Structure 1
Amino acid sequence: MSLAGKVVIVTGASSGIGAVTAEAFAKLGAKVALVGRNAENLKATEVSCKAANNKVELLPIIADVTVDAERIVKTAVDKFGKLDVLVNNAGAGASGHILDIDVDQFDRVMNTNVRSVFLLTKYAAPHLIKTQGSIVNVSSVAGLRSFPAVSVYCTSKAAIDQFTRCIALDLAPHKVRVNAVNPGVIVTEFHKRVGMSEEQYAEYLARCKETHALGRVGEAKEVADTIIFLASDKSSFITGATLPVDGGKHAMCPR
């Protein structure tokens, strides 16, 4: 996948898709800046990366993407001397009917899911131009389709999809590619963090067999593999794409 020696920033690397993606880059010989807020979880990702490749060069960065975007990019470039790939994975979820939610939810989700991606992209872009690198944004099927009681989250991911396309055009003359993945339901702790109980989550996963065309939910590795593809030269003629990794959920209209 031509990623050996490449310098990669992965935000939200302390769990879920981000952690598995960081491990995938490490296995392929990339130098990985692991960004997350939870030091203990980030340490666990560091351990898994080293297990995948004991010679990997890692840089854990304890940071909040909503306030530390400039520091994240600067720290990685100062350490490794360049930047080849930015994976904007960190994100926040939220649920609630429009009659019940307040503006604080809107501000929090948009700040994490959209504003931070804008800032990280802005600070990373000059370095990516030097290396003719790439950006992969982690969006969601919620950016492609509409669902009740998650209006703010859906709106934030739709914004990321459009941002991906626009920045792909801005950076195309500089040979920097910008793409997004749109996962369906993936087995992580995401839904529990949004507020589902264990019982509710189990019922939800069972229901997902009907709402995903392939009859199952996805695994984080399946998203990570797609991110790796979009970050590598294997996708050298792809930019401005929003690629569903969702078992066909985006193509369905389940009732």
Structure 2
Amino acid sequence: MSLTNKVAIVTGGSSGIGAAIAVKFVTEGAKVAIVARNEKKLAEVAKKCEINGSQPLLIIADVTKENDAQRIIETTLKKFGKLNILVNNAGIGRSGSILDKNYLVIFDEVIATNLRSIVYLTHLAAPNIIETKGNIINISSVASMGILGPTSSIYSTSKAGLDHFTRCVALELAPKGVRVNNINPGPVKSDILLNAGFESAAEGIIWEEAKNMTALKRVADADEIADLAVFVASDKGRSITGASLVTDNGTLLQ
């Protein structure tokens, strides 16, 4: 298997893309620490991992809290003794007009989760990943490359910042044998809409609109993103670093 004996941390692993990556990594032979705030959902992902390979390490943590971020790294190293792969997947989706009175409140919340937490966790993990000559995968979005709507400035800015951070760190760590990449999905079916505060009744309508935004007229499944993550994390992706790998069903073509 392509990730045999590799140790990975996957944040935001209780649902959606993060959960799919955790299960796929375990299937490919990795030992995985799954990080999330929702203990119940995390336990459900753990069951899927056990069926497909091995029991993961579950870490209940908020990536925006520095003490929690430190605990994520320390707990993983204590359990597995090393770290090969960091998948920074935890993120939130929010929208807002620049004219809104609470625009900066939303902006600070999104930046704290989608960018600052990744910067800090990467800072903590990098020395250990250098030791194993491993790699880092950041889950970004096509929102970093295009304007998806008139009130998308907060989310898009957070992901554009993430893309550039990835390129900078990729260049810095390349001489040390460490690869750093982005995966930039288009619409992916998950519970991101419910987590963002949308009513369940509106969810179907929004996914249908998302499908029509793509050239291929389809919304991706989380497993598709996980397949790409496995490729990038494995030796098959050994020549890829500093890349933003778009998997969007042609969203950016529209």
Query: Which category describes the TM-score, using the shorter chain as reference length?
Result: over 0.9
CA contact (8 A) 1:180 1:241 kept: yes
Equivalent position to 1:222, from 224, 227, 231: 224
Paired position in structure 2 for 1:103: 104
Q: What residue identity is the alignment partner of 1:174? A: K
Q: CA deviation at 1:2?
A: 2.4
Q: What residue identity is the alignment partner of 2:208? A: A
RMSD: 1.1
Q: CA deviation at 1:220?
A: 0.3
Task: Identify which range, 194-203 or 68-77, moves more after superposition.
Answer: 194-203
Q: What residue identity is the alignment partner of 1:144? A: M
Q: CA deviation at 1:57?
A: 4.2
What SS is found at the alignment partner of 2:41? Answer: helix
Deviations along 1:193-222, one digit per CA (max 9) or x if unpaired, are 223223322222222332111111110000
Paired position in structure 2 for 1:49: 49
Distance in 2 (alpha carbons) for counterparts of 1:171 and 1:31: 24
Distance in 2 (alpha carbons) for counterparts of 1:185 and 1:123: 30
Residues 105-254 of structure 1: matches in 2 within 5 Å? 105-147=106-148, 148-252=150-254
What SS is found at the alignment partner of 1:135? Answer: strand
Task: Identify which range, 206-215 or 131-140, moves more after superposition.
Answer: 206-215
Q: CA deviation at 1:248?
A: 1.1
CA contact (8 A) 2:207 2:219 kept: yes
What SS is found at the alignment partner of 2:33? Answer: strand
Task: Identify which range, 199-208 or 240-249, moves more after superposition.
Answer: 199-208
CA contact (8 A) 1:88 1:137 kept: yes
When normalised by structure 1's length, the TM-score is 0.95
Q: What residue identity is the alignment partner of 2:58? A: P
Unaligned runs of 5+ in 1: none
Paired position in structure 2 for 1:89: 89
Distance in 2 (alpha carbons) for counterparts of 1:83 and 1:198: 38
Q: What residue identity is the alignment partner of 1:50? A: E
Q: CA deviation at 1:102?
A: 2.5
**Displaced runs of 4 or more, over 4 A:** none
What SS is found at the alignment partner of 1:187? Answer: coil
When normalised by structure 2's length, the TM-score is 0.95
Q: What residue identity is the alignment partner of 1:238? A: I
Unaligned runs of 5+ in 2: none
CA contact (8 A) 1:95 1:194 kept: no
Equivalent position to 2:64, from 59, 62, 66: 66
Distance in 2 (alpha carbons) for counterparts of 1:173 and 1:159: 23
What SS is found at the alignment partner of 2:99? Answer: coil
CA contact (8 A) 1:13 1:42 kept: yes
Q: What residue identity is the alignment partner of 1:239? A: T
What SS is found at the alignment partner of 1:156? Answer: helix
Pairs aligned (count): 250
